[in-house]
């Protein structure tokens, strides 16, 4: 048993699919499959249950996955501690955020990190939720602040804020910012993301539940492209306040709250449970927690802080990182 095999096996469990795991590891699928078979032969047990949807760990495989995560974290801890002992370590930490959060907090977070964490070089990465989660699983980023993250093996999710989505359209004569019902939203031609986009899936699920048809003549995943369409065409979109804040404040766009029902999302802090902690990670997480409090203040009635922000955010992250029934503990934070 070696570290490469443990890393390959852990990634396969997290991806739930050998092909996807091979892509994330940048290795050939046959080579990955061979490493896992060698592990199974050495231990004398089946580690993965293979089925039409991919793979899931057997009971023995789940035990190995948990131990592999511990071992890989210890190896990374040892590497960092040795570098720190030389007195020359400057940690490079990459933080992924969605467009709306970047608009509202990106500069504040970078300035606070520079001021309070001299041992950290912080890199901000802006992507959509799906791409951020994939980047976390490929170890391309270290932390993410993003919306509506589904539970996945190997990921720690800390719910931070619940906020409302708005109907956003170009400002036109006589238009007000009065709330609109979802039925009224559906009367607009909408521009939304593609079918894999989590926000679009939420909107469509609501429409199906209410038996209200939608008109979606345009699909775009780029906030810049959506903004351009809103200003040039008679269309509207549904988005977070942060994604349109500059245009709303400048009077180019109008954002209206949606009622019957309210459309809301949960903002999460996400990290890999397999990755070792940075030396300055707790301090950075507390910087992020304070920034989230500022976000709630900036959004007013559109946002509600969750219990994870009641104290230092690092304390919540540490508590959830311990082995426990994660779903039950996370439910308390809502």
Q: Quick check: 330 pLDDT over 90? A: no
CATH number for the domain harbouring residue 23: 1.10.10.10
Q: Give the model's confidence band at 331: pLDDT under 50 very low, under 70 low, under 90 confident, else very high.
A: low
CA proximity to 169, closest of 273, 252, 54: 252
Q: What is the mean pLDDT of residues 79-108?
A: 83
Burial of 214 (0-12, 13-18, 19+ CB in 10 A): middle
CATH number for the domain harbouring residue 285: 3.40.190.10
Q: What is the mean pLDDT of residues 14-34?
A: 89
Question: How many folded domains does the chain comprise?
Answer: 3
Same domain, 121 and 257: no
Measure the CA–CA gap between 82 and 289, rounded to whole angstroms.
29
Same domain, 68 and 128: no
Task: Note if the pTM is more than 0.85.
Answer: no
- Confidence (pLDDT) at 84: 65
> Domain residues for 51?
3-82
Same domain, 153 and 167: no
Q: Give the model's confidence band at 332: pLDDT under 50 very low, under 70 low, under 90 confident, else very high.
A: low
Measure the CA–CA gap between 204 and 212, rounded to whole angstroms.
9
Same domain, 13 and 90: no
CATH number for the domain harbouring residue 215: 3.40.190.290
- Confidence (pLDDT) at 329: 54
Measure the CA–CA gap between 53 and 82, rounded to whole angstroms.
42
- Confidence (pLDDT) at 334: 64
Same domain, 170 and 259: yes
Domain boundary, last residue among 264, 285, 319: 264
Q: Quick check: 276 pLDDT over 60? A: yes
Measure the CA–CA gap between 98 and 125, rounded to whole angstroms.
8
Same domain, 172 and 189: yes
- Confidence (pLDDT) at 325: 40
Same domain, 321 and 202: no
Same domain, 171 and 104: no
Same domain, 177 and 254: yes
- Confidence (pLDDT) at 75: 86
Radius of gyration of the CA atoms of the chain, in A: 22
Cα 159 from chain centre: 10
Tell me the C-alpha to C-alpha distance, in Å, between residue 276 and each of 41, 63, 317: 29, 19, 13
Domain boundary, last residue among 49, 82, 115: 82
Same domain, 104 and 174: no
Q: What is the mean pLDDT of residues 174-185?
A: 93
In tens, the pLDDT along 113-161 reads 999 998 899 999 999 888 899 899 888 899 999 999 988 888 899 999 9
Cα 315 from chain centre: 20
Question: Position of tokens 């089925």?
Answer: 51
Cα 113 from chain centre: 20
- Confidence (pLDDT) at 219: 95
Q: What is the mean pLDDT of the chain?
A: 90
Span of 60-69, 88-97, 134-143, 189-198 with lowest mean pLDDT: 88-97
Q: What is the mean pLDDT of residues 284-294?
A: 95
Question: Percent of the chain beyond pLDDT 90?
Answer: 65
Higher pLDDT pick, 164 / 83: 164
Higher pLDDT pick, 8 / 88: 8
Domain boundary, last residue among 264, 284, 311: 264
- Confidence (pLDDT) at 312: 93
Same domain, 295 and 174: no
- Confidence (pLDDT) at 232: 94
Same domain, 294 and 237: no
Nearest 5°: CA angle at 226, between 197 and 218? Answer: 70
Residues near 159 by Cβ (< 8 Å), separated by ≥ 6?
266, 267, 268, 306, 308, 330, 333, 334
């Amino acid at each position: 048993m070696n570290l490469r095999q443990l890393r390959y096996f852990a990634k396969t469990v997290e991806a739930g699919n050998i092909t996807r795991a091979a892509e994330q590891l940048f290795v050939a699928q046959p080579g990955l499959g061979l490493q896992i078979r060698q592990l199974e032969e050495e231990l004398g047990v089946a580690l993965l249950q293979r089925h039409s949807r991919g793979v899931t760990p057997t009971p023995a495989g789940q035990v190995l996955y948990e131990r592999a995560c511990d071992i890989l974290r210890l190896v990374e801890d040892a590497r960092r501690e040795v570098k720190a002992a030389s007195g020359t370590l400057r940690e490079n930490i990459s933080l992924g955020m969605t467009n709306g959060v970047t608009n509202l907090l990106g500069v504040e977070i970078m300035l606070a990190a520079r001021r309070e964490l001299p041992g950290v070089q912080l890199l901000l990465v802006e992507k959509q939720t799906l791409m951020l989660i994939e980047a976390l699983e490929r170890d391309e980023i270290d932390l993410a602040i993003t919306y509506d993250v589904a539970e996945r093996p190997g990921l720690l999710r800390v719910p931070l804020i619940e906020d409302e989505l708005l109907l956003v359209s170009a400002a036109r004569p006589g238009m007000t910012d009065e709330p609109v019902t979802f039925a009224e939203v559906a009367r607009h031609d909408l521009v939304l993301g593609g079918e894999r986009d989590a926000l679009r899936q939420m909107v469509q699920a609501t429409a199906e539940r209410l038996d209200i048809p939608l008109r979606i003549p345009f699909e775009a995943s780029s906030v810049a492209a959506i903004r351009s369409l809103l200003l040039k065409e008679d269309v509207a979109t549904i988005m977070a306040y942060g994604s349109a804040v500059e245009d709303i404040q400048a009077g180019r766009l109008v954002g209206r709250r949606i009622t019957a029902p309210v459309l809301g999302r949960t903002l999460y802090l996400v990290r890999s449970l397999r990755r070792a902690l940075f030396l300055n990670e707790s301090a950075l997480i507390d910087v992020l927690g304070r920034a989230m409090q500022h976000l709630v203040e900036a959004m007013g009635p559109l946002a509600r802080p969750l219990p994870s922000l009641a104290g230092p955010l690092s304390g919540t992250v540490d508590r959830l990182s311990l082995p426990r029934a994660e779903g039950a503990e996370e439910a308390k934070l809502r």
